[in-house]
Amino acid sequence: MPDKIRVLSVLVEDGPNTLSKVSGVIRRRGFHVTAISVGPSPEPGRSRLTLQVDHGHAEADQVRKQLERLVEVLDVQDLTDNDVHSRELVVARVAASDLAGLLEKGAKLLHSGPAEATVEFAGDGEEVGDFVNELTRHGVQDVVRSGPVVMRRTA
How far apart CA 91 and CA 99 sit, in angstroms, is 13
Fold agreement between 5-78 and 84-152: yes
Delimit the domains of the chain by residue range: 5-78, 84-152
- Helix 57-68 and helix 18-28: axis angle, to 10°? 140
DSSP code at position 98: G
Exposure of 52 by Cβ count < 10 A (0-12 exposed, 13-18 middle, 19+ buried)?
buried
- Strands (E) in 14-112, as ranges, are 32-40, 46-54, 73-78, 84-95, 108-112
The better pLDDT of the pair 1, 63 is held by 63
Quick: pLDDT tens for 111-139: 999 999 999 999 998 999 999 998 988 77
> Which distant-in-sequence residues (6+ apart) come within 8 Å of 61 by Cβ?
78
5-78: CATH number = 3.30.70.260
Quick: pLDDT tens for 18-66: 989 998 888 887 788 888 899 999 999 999 999 888 776 667 678 888 8
Quick: pLDDT tens for 90-117: 999 999 888 888 999 999 999 999 999 9
Q: Looking at the domain covering 84-152, what would its CATH class be? A: alpha beta
**What does the pLDDT average to over 6-12?**
91
How far apart CA 147 and CA 7 sit, in angstroms, is 11
